[in-house]
Amino acid sequence: MRFSAIGGTTVDRVLDRVAAETVGPPDDRLLQAACREAARPEMSGHVQHIIPRYAWEDLVLTPKVLSQLRQLEDVLAQQETVMHTWGQQRLRPRGYGLKALFTGSPGTGKTMCAEVIAGSLGYDLFKVDLSSVVSKWVGETEKNLRQIFDAAEGGTSVLLFDEGDAIFGTRGESKSAQDKYANQEVAYLLQRLEVFEGCVIITTNLQENIDEAFLRRFSAVIEFPFPSPAERQRLWDRALPPEDFRDGDIDTALLGRQFHLAGGSIVNASLNACIDAATHGERLQMKHCIVAVARELYKMGKQVNRVHFGDLFPVVEKLFT
């Protein structure tokens, strides 16, 4: 790995930290962590530094999507070797960085997967704060983006543009000054991605909202499908607390089969069910899960009636009638 941002005094700080936290020969993982910390870019408050908490075993996805994600991990892991040690940078002297688009329904794991990829390689994950980047002043948005891209250039970090269609959206006809400057921002992003040598991951719920000109610049476009009933059961199994804290009447197969929820919604329902049970001083039961599911569906604007719940409807009938 290259740590081009590390200067002499910074190297001294890295070595001092390693010496303070190890006894005997320095630990490779600690040395890498210290170097990564020393090389961490300054991004002027426009990003949120996320410490990865998830691993590959936490993902519940189709084999096809997992294979595509593993390919992205391989590209990042071997990029330095192939481009610099093997000299293949001669084929793509500019902009050999990884740019990927994750698309799919809300709650299907797009942001989580960006965290997994960064964490598996020991990279920093920086989530771009679009509220602080996008400005009403002409040229200010481009200036903020330039600061972010320049800081992340060539380092061991992943830039995440969550809900990226807000800034990577389709250009329209310039009918007003506002349209002109909005198109100017998209044009700047197109040029900057073309030459960027780091890793950028963009997530969106609607791929059609992304300007088509960006698609050529993406190394990969991965679509996250809505989980199947079997996958939803696995998500419920992972989301519920250990058996010591729940009754035996919970049927995760039924929950996965009966209710069309994405992974994020299942996590929300599981947490709300646990809170409901703990509030009443009870172990987690099926009735708590059903009520939590009903509230999640109601929050999503879906009808809660006997069609969805069948014989379980009496458990939630009083809540919504």
Buried b (16+ CB within 10 A) or exposed e, 138-175: eeebbebbebbbebbbbbbbbbbbbbbbebbbebeeee
**What is the DSSP code (8-state) at residue 95?**
-
Same domain, 139 and 123: yes
Same domain, 119 and 163: yes
* Segments forming the whole domain that contains residue 78: 43-224
Q: What per-residue confidence (pLDDT) applies to 119? A: 93
Q: Which of 224, 259, 281 is at the close of a domain?
A: 224
Model pTM? 0.82
Q: Return the pLDDT at 29.
A: 61
Residues 47 and 11 in one domain: no
Cα separation, 302 vs 290, whole angstroms: 15
Give the CA radius of gyration of the chain.
23
Instruction: Name beta bridge partners: 161.
Output: 202
Distance from C-alpha of 239 to C-alpha of 65, rounded to nearest angstrom = 21
pLDDT of residue 9: 46
Q: Which of 224, 259, 277 is the last residue of a domain?
A: 224
Which domain CATH number covers 296? Answer: 1.10.8.60
Look at the chain and report how many structural domains it folds into: 3
284 lies in the same domain as 238: yes
Smallest CA-to-CA distance from 173 within 183, 164, 165 is with 183
pLDDT of residue 13: 59
Name the domain boundary from 224, 246, 281: 224
Indicate if 195 and 270 belong to the same structural domain: no
Closest CA to 258 of 284, 300, 290, 216: 290
DSSP 34-92: HHHHHTPPP-TTSEEEE-----GGG----HHHHHHHHHHHHHHHHHHIIIIIS-GGGTS
Same domain flag for 66 and 104: yes
Q: What CATH number does the domain containing 97 carry?
A: 3.40.50.300
Q: What is the pLDDT along the chain (321 residues), one digit of tens a residue?
A: 344 444 444 556 555 655 665 556 666 666 666 666 665 666 667 889 898 999 999 999 999 999 999 999 999 899 888 888 898 888 887 767 889 999 999 999 999 999 999 999 988 899 998 878 887 777 788 888 888 888 888 667 899 999 888 777 665 555 555 556 567 777 888 888 888 888 999 999 888 878 787 888 888 999 999 999 999 999 999 999 999 999 989 999 999 999 999 999 999 999 999 999 999 999 999 999 999 999 998 888 887 777 777 777 787 777 765
